Structure 1
Amino acid sequence: MTFVRIGGVPHHVVVEGDGPVCVLSAGLAMSWFDWDPVVPLLAPHRTVVRFDRPGHGLSGPAAVRPSAAGEAHRIAGLLDALSLQGPATVVGHSIAGFHAEAFARLHPDRTAAVVLVDTSIEEHARVPAAPALRTAAARALGSALSAVGAPAALGPLTRRATVRLSRTGGGDPAPAALVRRCYSTSRVMQGALLENTHYRAVAAELLALRERYALPDVPVTVLAATAGGRRWTARQRALALQLGARFAAVGPAGHLMMLDRPDAIARAVLEADPYGARAPQQAPPAQPVA
């Protein structure tokens, strides 16, 4: 466990294992420890990097509003700070699927493979108006909730309830002390509010990136949790077709697939890049679509 500074913000990072690099990024309001069941399956074969985005887990509060490009560059900055220069397999869960895809498009020479775990999908997202006002409103709401003690009173309970509803395999396995340490803070409540507020803006930005930058010629896998239902699975399958990706419906599994089916995620990572990361390519930072 360590902290690295990116963009002036201290980021909490955990690095385990040995071998080619694999970066795990969790969904909105989730923490590094939500990947705990996956890490032992990957660490014998990969250098596994887990980190908390600003306002999540143990990282410092967000200094700027989130964006798809910003999160892609954050992953690159994290790898730089850790002196991990080789191509990495990037695994994005839920909203972090936007970030993983953006990373591959903007940093193709640093991408070995992409695995999207029950990723967020917004086929027709548009940028909402007045982003600065939305940011201010999210911060004001977070400050008001913090002033009345909402994070301590409701944060851990909300976390536990959300995890329980997002699984097929039971409740929240995270240690109570860790949940209190993270989710009782105004910092994490503010971080969740900020990412939620700008969710559609990030989705719309990713759609624009798809128009401008091609995916690199690397394996891409889309994993869909069967608990989402037929329509959700169909949307995930359509995304895989659009991206030229391998598709797999994973069940029984809820949205928090890393807790219900860690084996499926580990298998997708190892099968996507079975011989380890490719040698670095001589390529520009991003390749526009022809």
Structure 2
Amino acid sequence: MTTGRFVRVDGVPLHVVVEGSGPPVVLSAGLAMAWFDWDQVAALLVARGRTVVRFDRPGHGLSAPATSPPTAAGEAHRIAGLLDALGLTGPVTVAGHSIAGFHAEAFARLYPERTAALVLVDTSIEEDPRTVWPAGVRTGAARVLGRALTAAGLPAALGPLARRAAVRASRTGGPDRPPPSAAGGPPAARDLVRRVYRSSRVWRGALLENARYRDAAAEVLALRTGRPLAAPVTVLAGYDGSSGRGALRWLARQAELAVRLGARFEVAEPAGHLVMLDRPGLVARVVLDAGQRRA
């Protein structure tokens, strides 16, 4: 499992892993996830002649803490700044999972000349992202909770266990899913999981990002009215194959999003929310196909 280097973007040291050669692909994971969650997808893309860029947002993975609350536009600018720092000035295929789908879509709308294709992997969807409490109140509450968790020593004591439980709950499996670890956790090295998730920085970062979730969704909705997408888009939805109302409704919402964006719609079945862990081969194929549509 590969760790990378640190690149300073807007004053924040970001952990980034760059592998391979060829047309560039940027992979951004969801809330509280890390670069190594893309390991299998990245390996498949590198084998198919792609330069793969994986990075941890501030407060995630091994990156430094955030200096300000995250926004969709801010994360789009961060991606652009990271590409500049890496000397990658041409169009890239950008793939965002879960909440990072907001960031990837914002990048594609704000930087159309730098976007070869957009792939939304079981992306977050908010059709009406209204909030009850002001953003400042939610941000302050997240920071207070983060400090309380740190003072209680919970990240160090329970962080890796919580990570493993969350991953197990978010996976279903499929024909290209690798066997789980002996403890039933994610296919990630235990030392890296402990290094990342015992850190209070990561849990504070996740709380801060989650507190601004609906604000990011509202930003993206606003961008859709005046910033058209110029690159081909694919929406890849995870579906566990069940007839449960929640699963079917989520699938329908993903399909509706694809229609709104004029995107190609694909379904990963069976797969949980962590599609890149359950179906890495399919995710890699969708990313490759998306880039080829632009070419």
Give the TM-score taking structure 1 as reference length.
0.92
Post-superposition offset of 1:211: 1.2
Q: Number of aligned pairs?
A: 276
Match of 1:68 in 2: 72
Question: Structure 1 stretch 121-130 or stretch 98-107: which is displaced more?
Answer: 121-130
User: Match of 1:183?
Assistant: 197
Q: Which residue of the partner structure matches residue 226 of structure 1?
A: 239
Pick from 4, 24, 28 the counterpart of residue 27 of structure 2.
Answer: 24
Query: 3-state SS of the aligned residue for 1:43?
Result: helix
CA shift for structure 1 position 69: 0.4
Alignment of 1:123-162 (within 5 A): 123-126=127-130, 129-162=133-166
Q: CA RMSD in A?
A: 1.3
Equivalent pair of 1:127/1:204 in contact (CA under 8 Å):
no
Residues 72-91 of structure 1: pairs in structure 2 closer than 5 A: 72-91=76-95
In structure 2, the partner of 1:38 is 41
Deviations 1:49-90 (A, max 9, x none): 000000000000010101110011111011001010010000
Which sections of structure 2, spanning at least 5 residues, go unmatched? 174-179, 241-245
Consecutive unaligned residues of structure 1, counting only runs of 5 or more, are: 279-290
CA distance in 2, matches of 1:9, 1:28: 18
Q: Identify the residue that residue 245 of structure 1 maps to in structure 2.
A: 263
State the one-letter code of the partner of 2:225.
E
Q: 2 CA distance for matches of 1:245 and 1:127?
A: 28
Q: Which structure 1 residue ranges, 4+ long, deviate > 2 Å from structure 2?
A: 126-130
Q: Which residue is equivalent to 1:174?
A: 188
What is the identity, as a one-letter code, of the residue corresponding to 2:222?
Answer: A
Does structure 2 retain, via aligned residues, the 8 Å contact 1:128–1:201?
no
Distance across 1 between alignment mates of 2:29 and 2:132: 24
**Secondary structure at 2:283's aligned position in 1?**
helix
Q: Per the alignment, in what secondary structure is the counterpart of residue 273 of structure 2?
A: coil
Q: Any idea what SS the aligned residue of 2:14 has?
A: strand
User: SS in structure 2 opposite 1:4?
Assistant: strand
**Farther-moved stretch of structure 1 (35-44 vs 106-115):** 35-44
164, 188, 195: which is aligned to 2:209? 195
Match of 2:17 in 1: 14
Tell me the distance in 2 between the aligned counterparts of 1:71 and 1:116.
15
Instruction: Give, in angstroms, the shift of residue 224 of structure 1.
Output: 0.5
TM-score (norm 2): 0.91
**TM-superposed deviation, 1:128:** 5.2
Q: Give yes or no for the alignment of 1:4 onto 2:17.
A: no
